[in-house]
Structure formats: C-alpha cells, structure tokens
Chains A and B, each alone.
Chain A
Amino acid sequence: MKERVQETVDTARSHGAEYADARWVRQKTEELVVKNGALSLAEMGRTQGIGIRVLKNGAWGFASTDRMDKDNLNAAAARAVEVAEASSMVMNEPVELAREPAQRGSWATPFEINPFNVSREEKLNLLFNVEKALHVDERIKVGQAQLLFDEQKILFVSSEGAEIEQSVLASGGGITATAVDGNSIERRSYPNSAGGMHLGAGYEVVKEFDLQANADRIAGEAVDLLSAEQCPVGEKDIILDWSQQALQIHESCGHASELDRVLGMEANFAGRSFLTIEKLGDFKYGSEFVNLVADSTLERGLATRGWDDEGVGAQKWHVVENGQFIAYLTSRELASIEGNDRSRGCNRAEGWNRIPIIRIPNLGLAPGTWDLDDLIADTEDGIWMETNRSWSIDQMRLNFQFSTELGYEIKNGKRGKMLKGCTYQSRTPDFWAACDAVCNEKWWKPFGVMNCGKGEPGQVARMTHGSAPARFRKIRVGVSK
C-alpha cells in the first residue's frame, strides 16, 4: 500500500502540484444496540479509501476515492490538481505552510483488550442483561444499551518526505433509560448521554464502566425524575458534573478558539467566534481559577495521536491560563496568523474522504484545589447539575443555553431534593468569570465527545474533555420560556 500511496503523491506532483499529501485510511466499526429486549442495531462496518490534498498555484485542492486501483488513484490525483487550479481562480495570497520536519514513524492507541477479539456472544450477553436490568418499573418505556468500537489504520505520505502510520482505536458504550408517565418524559444515561462514553482505549473501558452495577440506579433515577420538582427559576450557584463540564468546555472554549472559525472560514455554517485576533493574549476569558489546557498526548484521549492529519506532532498547551486567553487551535496554513512558526497540530479529518480542518483536540479544565464534599458544603443556595441533555449556543459562541438530565438542590451546604428540567443560560465570558472553585485532581476525569460536527461537507470528530466538578456563581437557571 505504501508504494501506491507514494505513487499517488508523485502523480499529483507530476501534474504540477507544489505540495501533495495522501492519506490512506482503513476503518473498521462494530456497533451493537439492544433496545427493549431486542437487537435494534447489529452492524459491522468497513470502509477504506484515499484522500489526496494538493497545493497548486498556492490554492488547495482535494479529491478522494474508494476505488484503489492504479487508474483510479491516478485519476483522483489529477482531479485534486484540477480542483486546486479552480480554487486559484478566486484567491488572495498563496497558502504558505508552516515548516514541519518531515516525520517518519508510527503510533498506536495503547489498549489492553482488543475489542474486535472479544466474542460477540460476550458483548451481546452484556447488552441484553444490562438492558433487561433497566426495566425496573412499567414506566420505563425505552431501555437501551449499546457498544461501539472503531479502529482506523492511517497511512500518511507527503511530498515533503513524511511517512507516518497510525492506528487509532476508540471503545465505549453506555445505557439509557427513558421513563414516561402521561405528559412527562425523563431520561437517564450512564456513563454519559449521546450514546455513552468512549475513550481512546480497548474493551477494558467497558469492563471499567460496570454497566450492570449502574443499570438499576439509572433506571430508578429516570422514574424518580417523573415526580421530581421542576428546576426553580432564578439565579443560583451551580456545580457542573464531568459530563456537563465536558459539553461546556467543548462549546464555549473549544469551538471559540478554532482559528479558522475566527477568520471567517466557517462563517456560512458553524459560524464565527467572539475570540477575535486582537483578543489573543489580551482578553479575560474567565476567572483566575480557569485554566483550559489542550493536550493531544492525553492518556486515553479520543484525539490523542502521534501526529495530526498533516503530519504535525502531538503537543500540549494552555488555551486559557489563569483566566487569560493566550492561544488558538491552529493548522500549518494558519499558524503564522497566531504569530507562530509551527502549527499546534489540530488539523484532523473524519476519514479518508475528508480534507483535514482545524478540530478541537483533547481540551480540559485543569484541576483546582477543592474536594467535592467541601465544595458542596461551601454552597448555600445552589444546584448540582449532572449529565448533559441539551445544548444550543449562538454562532459567535457567546449566548448559550444548556440543560442536564438530573439535578439536585444544594441548600446550606447539603445535597437536597432531586430536580428535573435543569437548564442554565449565560454568556461565555460572564460564565467563566463566575467560576470560583474547581475540584482537585482526585476528582478529575476524562469525558469523551463522539459527535462534534463541523465543516462543509460535514465532518464528525472525536475528542476528550477532562475536568473536575466546578462551581459557577449566580447563574440564570430554570430558563424554559
């Protein structure tokens, strides 16, 4: 395969490309979903193909194909050059790539148990048993248990001499119980919503989740929520759990700091960002307790790799340090805009058929000093919000409204009654400025996001947002009208 991929790069060069790279990706996916006692999805997916990216006349072209014979590959390389020539019809300055030494090497996600070697009987037994355990009450109308395993083998070759092989693995799953009573519907998920929790690891994570031990609790909470009090309307101190914190970081910091978005390259679809260029190094994004750290080397991170999809090595850096906004997420094309001579290595593609674009890496809230029990004890009038349920944010990443599956009232330092319909609404810099406490390393956990959408054509990316629970003062809650 290496020869064929190299030949494709050479073909693009022979058609006049000033730069060319090619990524061959072979992807294998296994997805199993048991719903209400029946297998509602059992699918083995395989896809492979090649994407060729070129610069001609200083403009980008990209073509992909899943037909791997020599004629088709050569035709795709020629098509990429033709597309780049068309791009150069409407351009300003020619694209200049930040320097990156041509890397040759390999990297693989560390894992203990290859999920594809675990028997299907074992996986299905787990799912059927766990799903059955969710039906603790006739009001549980939908029980669902699922597993997803995904492996990508990537070979990257560039005309600068890079030759990189990577094997990227994601494993995980989860359970969801939906309770319905009349006009009320409540859902609880474990370990996370939106299909469960996934990490850059093997089948061992499924064992660690211990879905069976949590099924009864989750289902019981879904039923209890039906008769729980509605989240009050007003201003409260809120403490976010890991799942909600992950969503909060993702939407209000991750996307806001993508440099392509800042420059207007996403304006038509995902939008722009309030973190405009003049704010770099000179903007108070949050309180002094807010440290947001990008880390493409994070253990078990879904975006952890040796290199990104243009051959830039994995890095770790602060996006926000002690509340100050100090860095963007960049690619080789845009690194110089930030004033750097090297990309931060954020250019990733969903698969062989997509051109790499700037994606959020693993991005976490650094631990603070609080013990969670002390933080709750220190809160007089607050709400604990747990497991993301819904999200919406404006196209500049300022005004947002998020909600969680479950809440608990906190009164005079003690956890009180269960609350449903927990929503909160704020403006990004105001919200992070209201952060006055972050729990310590003992409480810090990575949470994966599997469904980050961006780009046209649309691309789905994965990343991990680690955090510990944190408190935000006087936030508007209970907004549902």
Chain B
Amino acid sequence: MIGEKEFCTIRDRVFTISGADETEVVLGGGCENLTRFGENRITQNVSEERYDLRVRVRFGRRQGVATTNDFSDGSLENCVAEATALAKVQEESERVLDFHQGDERTEDVAWSRDTAEISAATRAEWVRTAVEVAEADGLEVGGIALTSEGTIEDYGQIGPFAVANTTGLYRFGSKTRAVFEVSAKKGAGAGRARILASSAGDVDAAAVARDACRRALESQDPTTIPPGSYTVVFEAEAVIDLLFYLGYLGMNGMSVAEKRSPLWDKLGEKVFGDNFNLTENPDLPGLFGISFDGEGVDTNPLKIVENGVIRSFVHDRLSAHLSGQTPTGHGLPQPNSWGAFMRFPVIEGGDESLEDLIAGVDNGVLVTRLWYTNVVDPMRMMMTGMTRDGTFRIENGKLGGPVKNFRYNQSLLDFFSNIEALGRTEVKGEVALPAMRVRNFNFSSGTDF
C-alpha cells in the first residue's frame, strides 16, 4: 500500500515537472482482497493492488487532466505533458476555477490493522463457517468476503485517498473496509444479510449466515398477492437505493445549478413530510470513510432536510460557484459531468422497533431489499425496481407468510412525504438510516418467484 512518504515523493516530482499556474495530484486505489462463493463453495478468489494518479494542471482558465499508474520519472513527465497539452488546446472557460486552497491534514480514523493484514485463509474460514451454517439446514449460500485498504470501491471505481495542490493544500486519508455478505437459498425461499465495517474484527460470520438462512427459511413457498398500493414496512437495507437516488437526482448541486433537479427552486421550502430529516454527518460513530472530497474540500456535518424543509444541497466547488453557495465537500475529482454526491447521509430515526412498525399495518407488505432500481422520470423522481430476498405479507399488525416479488413504480417525492413511522437509525457502512413504514407505496406487477 502506498503510504504518505511515497505519495509525497510523487507529489513533489509532479510539482517540479509542471510549469502550470496551478497543479493538483489526486491519488486513489490500494489493496483489495475478495473471496467470492456460491453453491456452498469458493468460486473465485482475487487479490488486487491498483492505483490511479490524476494530475490536473491549470493555465489561466484552461485545465487538463491525465492519469497514470506508472510512477516512474518518465511516466510522470509524460503524464504532466499530456495534461498540459490538453489544457493548452482549449479555450478559456469561466467554469475553470482556481484550485482549492487549504492547509495540511492527515486522517486515519477509518483504518484498522487487523483488516489491512488479514489473510486469504481467514476469509476462507468466514466462508466455511457460512457454508456449515447453511448445510445444517439444507440451504445453499453465496456471497463475498471482502477486505480492503484504500479506496477501491464496490464497482471497481477508484476514489481519492490523497489530494495535494500547489497552493499548499494536502490531504491524506487511510481507510480499511471489511464486508461479509451472504445470500441464502432453499427452494423458492431467499434471504440475504451482510455486515460492512471498518474492522475485520467486527465480522461475525456465523451471525451473518444465520440471519440470511433464517430469512430464506421464512420465505419458503411464497404466495401471490395482487399488485397495487400498499402500506409497506421497509427494513433499513431496503431504503439505501432510494436514498442514493434522492441524493443523485434531487440534492446534487450540479443538477440544481442546471435546473435538472425537481428541487432546484425549493431551497427553504417544505417538500417532504414533517418527520423526514436528512443530514450529512461524517462524525456519526460507526460511519466510516475519508472526510474530504476529490478536490480536498473537507466534508463537514450539513443539514440537508429539516422537518421536511430543504436546508441545503450538496456541492462541489463548481456547482457551488454556479449557484452562489458554499462548497460542502461532496465533489468528485474535477472536472467531471456528474456533480456532487452525498457521502455520509443520515436519515434521522425514531424509536419504533420493526415489530412496532409492523403492528401499525392492517394490510401491507414487509420489504427487506430492493433490486435494480432505476430512474423512470427524473423530474418526478419516479423510480422502478424489484423487491428481492424475502418479501412478506402483513395482516392485522402481524407478519404473515412470504409473497412473490413485486415490481414497484414510486415517486421519491411521495415516498419521503408518506413516512408514517420510523425505526431506530442503523449504520450501514457509509450511510445510516432507519427502517420505516410508508403509506401508498405502488407495486405495479409481480413476478414468478
């Protein structure tokens, strides 16, 4: 794993080579080890070390970027030359800003030695434990055992762990991640459970496997009930996708600046229900991540929605500049077309247990996970997707039997206005949110299983 000393050597070399008005280096990547299993056996097992260095140069109001993972002198010289050539063929643009000025800061609150140094054999032991739990009840399990150090993210994309520029800004963050995820199956029943933690020591493989297997056994022989509008209790995991899209479509400062967000003119207005409170809170115990963004702007606590009223959007420096707002530390490395993303979102919970939430439903559904969520209409925040891995009927305040999965079509504007009750906030990796009971949730069709 590249440490601070090596990063500083690379930074100094790039700054020496570059003749730009300003130069920025952003380093991401690291080591990721992932053991994958299915059919009660390990099917794939990989170990990766990978980095991505982005060099951004600014000449007046022109900028260029080049990337490399070869940190030899010749490669760095070539990288700076390519970024410079890209900048110099451009016209001046007011959208090219001076680089972020800041001090020097290093953080390692999300780093744990036991995760960084874990062996392939230990991950295989986690899997063996899960398989033993499953086979005891005749189930089949698949899943992942992942440990990583650095910023290789879920889909292979690389986030930044170090940012420095020639104004004197310097940020270096260390982060580890342990994920154990189990999907269990028996007949038509399916269940899934997982743990995401900064420390591998927090992984209780047997407990995760038992949760997944219990859910799979509970969801045997699902029946069909008609699609329609139901009161639905969502476990916290089932809200994660919807929260992501709320941020992407609605709270992204660039979408607001370009008037593509349905909330672009709603700052200070009440849009959601009284009981919907959304913040960004990197300080919440248990949430883990690196608390600066792709330009080195610190991500500080931020009120986004208070009692249903929009208090702020999340901004990178460009969207803040275009909107007359302050950057909030939610940007990707610049330049990009995407804008800003929530990084440590927290939905404030209530004090109801899952049983309490279910008790308030006469005729409804319990959803434990959503799948393949996608946008149907961005201005209505209309989403579609499927339920998965355990969907249950609720009748007269009690959990009934399993039902076959549904397709839903649901506006997020309505969803976060129709929350009837909230469970306790649960930390799920880099997000924290509660289970919730939501009225008038729209299931549009069913499927075969």
Contact = CB atoms under 8 A, between A and B. Distances in A.
Interface of A: 33, 35-49, 59-67, 79-80, 82-92, 120-121, 124, 128, 141-142, 144, 178, 180, 183-185, 260, 263-269, 271, 274, 350, 353-355, 357, 390-396, 398-399, 401, 403, 421, 423, 425, 427, 453, 456-460, 479-481
- Interface-central residue, B44, B131, B142, by most chain A CB under 10 Å: B44
Given A46-B66, A66-B50, A458-B154, 10 more contacts: A41-B337, A43-B86, A47-B52, A63-B47, A66-B51, A83-B120, A185-B378, A268-B143, A457-B152, A460-B155
B156 A459 contact: yes
A314 B70 CA distance: 32
Contacts of B375: 390
Contacts of B63: 42
Nearest to B148: A457
B69 A350 contact: no
Given A42-B86, A399-B407, A142 B260 contact: yes
B335 A41 contact: yes
A180 B257 CA distance: 13
B330 to A, nearest CB: 17
Nearest to B87: A42
Contacts, number: 276
Interface stretch (B32-40, B169-177, B298-306): B32-40
A392 B447 contact: no
Given A178-B260, A395-B372, A456-B34, A83 B142 contact: no
Interface in B121-160: 121, 123-125, 127-128, 131, 140, 142-144, 146, 152, 154-157
A105 B43 CA distance: 30
- Interface-central residue, A79, A180, A267, A350, by most chain B CB under 10 Å: A267
Interface stretch (B383-391, B419-427, B429-437): B383-391
A355 B46 contact: yes
B384 A267 contact: no
Given A65-B49, A86-B121, A60 B260 contact: no
B82 interface: yes
B388 A49 contact: no
B335 A264 contact: no
B90 A39 contact: yes
Nearest to B157: A458
16 contacts: A46-B67, A60-B42, A60-B44, A80-B47, A83-B120, A88-B42, A90-B37, A91-B42, A120-B85, A141-B258, A185-B378, A263-B38, A264-B140, A395-B371, A403-B376, A427-B448
Contacts of A425: 407, 444-445
B337 A401 contact: no
A222 B118 CA distance: 53
Contacts of A183: 262, 379-380
B215 interface: no
Given A47-B52, A63-B46, A39 B70 contact: no
A43 B66 contact: yes
Given A47-B52, A394-B447, A35 B42 contact: no
B444 A456 contact: no
A274 B44 contact: no
A411 to B, nearest CB: 25
- Interface-central residue, B51, B144, B386, B449, by most chain A CB under 10 Å: B386
B343 interface: no
Contacts of B69: 46-49, 66
Contacts of A271: 371, 388
B243 interface: no
B9 interface: no
Interface in B391-441: 405, 407, 409
B70 A46 contact: yes
B373 interface: yes
A37 B47 CA distance: 43
Contact of A394 (B34, B142, B386): B386
A65 B293 CA distance: 26
Contacts of A453: 155
Given A62-B44, A457-B34, A354 B156 contact: yes
B35 A141 contact: no
B16 interface: no
A86 B123 contact: yes
Contacts of A265: 36, 38-39, 43-44, 142
Top 9 A-B pairs ranked by shortest CB distance? A458-B155, A86-B120, A399-B447, A86-B124, A268-B183, A38-B93, A267-B142, A265-B38, A89-B124
Contact of A90 (B41, B75, B181, B337): B41
Given A265-B38, A480-B377, A401 B384 contact: yes
A144 B254 CA distance: 14
Contacts of A144: 337
- Interface-central residue, A33, A40, A49, A141, by most chain B CB under 10 Å: A40
Nearest to B375: A390
A350 B34 CA distance: 16
Contacts of A89: 42, 121, 124-125, 127-128
A93 B67 CA distance: 43
Contacts of A66: 49-51, 69-70
A353 B48 contact: yes
B40 to A, nearest CB: 7
B47 A62 contact: yes
A164 B35 CA distance: 28
B439 to A, nearest CB: 15
Contacts of B220: none
Contacts of B143: 268
B213 interface: no
Contacts of B43: 60, 260, 265
B116 to A, nearest CB: 15
B192 interface: yes
B45 interface: yes
Contacts of A92: 39-41
Interface string B284-309: 00000000000000000000000000
A61 B36 CA distance: 11
Given A178-B260, A479-B409, A392 B379 contact: no
A391 B374 CA distance: 6
Contacts of B113: none
Given A394-B371, A394-B447, A33 B337 contact: yes
B259 interface: yes
